[in-house]
Chain A
Amino acid sequence: MMLAYIDMGTGSYVIQLLIAGVAGVSYACRHAISRSFVWLKSKLNRRRPPSAPDRHV
C-alpha cells in the first residue's frame, strides 16, 4: 500500500469505528427494508390477475 500522506489521526480512526457501528446497523436496516419492498412488489405483481379483455369491441 502506498503510504497515505494524510494522517487520519487516532481520534478520527476511533470515531469511524463508533459511527460504523451505529450507521452500519441503520444502513443495513434501510437496505433490508428497501429490498423487502422490492420483493413484496414483485410478489404482488405476480399474484395480480391479468387484466380482463376489453369487451367494448
Chain B
Amino acid sequence: MSSPQPHAASFRDPSGVVFRQGNDIFRRVAAPYQPHFDQAVTSGLFKRLIADGLMIPHKDVTSEWNDPSAYKVLQPEKVAFISYPYEWSFSQWKDAALLTLRIQKTAIEHNMTLKDASAYNIQFHKGRPILIDTLSFETLEEGQPWGAYRQFCQHFLAPLALMSHRDIRLGQLARVHIDGIPLNLASSLLPNRTRFSLSLGMHLHLHAKLQTRHAGNTDIRHTRTARLSRHQLLAIVDGLERTVASLKWIPEGTEWADYYQNTNYTNEAQQLKQTLVGAFLDAHPPHTAWDFGANTGVFSRLAAARGANTMAFDIDPAAVELNYRQVRDKQETHMLPLLCDLANPAPSQGWAHQERDSLLARGPADLVMALALIHHLCIGNNVPFTALAAFLRACAPALIIEFVPREDSQVQRLLATRKDVFDWYTPENFETAFGQEFNIARKSAIPQTARTLYLMEAKA
C-alpha cells in the first residue's frame, strides 16, 4: 500500500516525512536522501546512537509499503507523549541541549553532521531525552562549518542563558518564537555581565551582532571560502558543551517548590490520602495518566508505580525542576514532569495551527488527577465548576479529584485577598456540575481534613 499523507507538521525537511497510520507513526525516507541514510547505516552511526540510547530505535518496514517515492519506510519506537520545549524545566532543556551536542560529536566521528538542531527533535522517552528525528544527519563536507549552529543557539543556548542569568520564566519566549529565540532579542535581555563571558559573549552577543551586520548581505556568501578543519569543528561543539554545562539554575524561592513543607496536612493525613488515591487508581487502572497540579510528583508516582505513563503537570518551574531531577536521579521510566499553566495551557500553533499540538490534542489520557487543585482554578481563576468538569472530561474519561471545601485553610487564604463572590463554591454544586459529565464511582472523606476525594467515570 502507498503511504498516507504526511503529518501536518512534517513539511520542512525534504529528507522525508512523518505520517500516521492508526496509532502508529512512520517515517518515509525520500529517495534523494539515500546517500546520507546509507552512510548513517554503513558508518555505524545509527547503530552507535541507538545502542547508547541517544536516538529512538526504528524498524525498517519498507517491504510492507508499496511506495515508489520512498527509499525506505521506518517505524520508530513510539514515544508516550510529545512534549515541547516551552513545557520543559531548566534541566530538561539543558539535558536536551547536551544530548544534541553529544550526538553532533558522535556524528562527526562517523563523518556525518547534524543538519538541524531543533529542540523539537528531542523528546523525553522512558525518563530520558532522546533524538526522534532519524533523518537529521547528512554527510560531513570537509571544511564546512556546522550548518545547524545558529539553530542550536536559538533553540537551546539562548533560552538556557536567559533562564539561568535573567529569569526562569523567559523559557516561555519559545512559545512565541517557534523557531527559537532570536539572538538579538536574547542579547538585549541578558544582563550586561554576560557580555564579558567569553563563551556567551561569542556564541550569543557577538553572534547576534554579526547576524545583524550581515543580514541581507548576499555578496559575502560568495566569499565563503574559509574552511574549518574537523578539529576546529569539534572545538566549537566542545565549547558549546562546556558553555551549556556551566549554566545553572537553583529551584528555590517559588511559591510551590516547598509546598509539602508548608501544607496544613499532617504526615498521617498525607499518608492516608496517598492510600486513598492508590486505592482509586487500583479501582480504575490507567495506561496513561495526567496529573494536574502535580507539584513535585508525590501523587503522580502512585500512578507511575502502577505502570501508567504519567505526565505530571505543574505551573511552577521549580516544582517541575525538582520532579525532573528525581526522575533523572532515580532513573524513573514512567514519569514525565512538564510545565503547564492550566489557566492557559499550550495551544495549537505554528503553520496552519498544526505544527505544535495543544495539550488537549495530545490526549486523551486514560485518567486525569486533580488533587488540591480545584480551589486554585475555581476561586483563584474564577473558573466555574461546569467549565472545569467539561475540560477534565475532554482530558480523560476517568477522574480522581479532591474537593477542597470553603472552610479549608488553603481556601481561606485565597479568599483573604479577594472579594468573596464564590457563594456557589459548595460541595453540592460541585457534585451537580460534575454530575453532568461524570458518574461518581467512589467518594471518600480524606481523614483528618475537611476534604473529599472522588473517583469519577465519564458518562456514556
Contact = CB atoms under 8 A, between A and B. Distances in A.
Contacts of A6: 115-116, 147-148, 150-151
A17 B145 contact: yes
B233 A20 contact: yes
Contacts of A17: 145, 226, 228
Contacts of A12: 145, 149-150, 153, 207, 210-211
A22 to B, nearest CB: 7
B202 A14 contact: no
Contacts, number: 112
B32 A9 contact: no
Given A22-B202, A23-B238, A16 B217 contact: no
A51 interface: no
Contacts of A15: 202-203, 206-207, 210
A4 B207 contact: no
Interface in A1-17: 1-6, 8-17
B150 A9 contact: yes
A28 interface: yes
Main SS at interface, chain A: helix
B98 interface: no
Interface residues of B, number: 48
Contacts of A39: none
B139 A16 contact: no
Contacts of A28: 231, 235
Contact of A27 (B32, B33, B212, B238): B238
A19 interface: yes
Interface residues of A, number: 26
Main SS at interface, chain B: helix
B14 interface: yes
B229 interface: yes
Nearest to B220: A10
Nearest to B210: A11
Nearest to B213: A11
Contacts of B203: 15, 19
B16 to A, nearest CB: 11
Most buried by B among A4, A12, A24: A12
Contacts of A10: 210, 214, 217, 220-221, 224
A40 interface: no
A36 interface: no
Interface of B: 12-15, 32-33, 35-36, 115-116, 138-139, 141, 145-151, 153, 198, 202-203, 206-207, 209-215, 217, 220-221, 224, 226, 228-229, 231-236, 238-239
Given A14-B220, A27-B238, 4 more contacts: A1-B139, A1-B141, A2-B14, A10-B210
30 contacts: A1-B141, A2-B14, A2-B15, A2-B36, A2-B138, A3-B14, A4-B115, A4-B147, A6-B147, A6-B148, A6-B151, A8-B149, A9-B150, A9-B211, A10-B220, A10-B221, A11-B210, A11-B213, A12-B149, A12-B211, A18-B202, A18-B206, A19-B202, A19-B236, A20-B228, A20-B233, A22-B202, A24-B229, A24-B235, A27-B234
The 3 closest A-B pairs by CB, nearest first: A11-B211, A27-B235, A11-B210
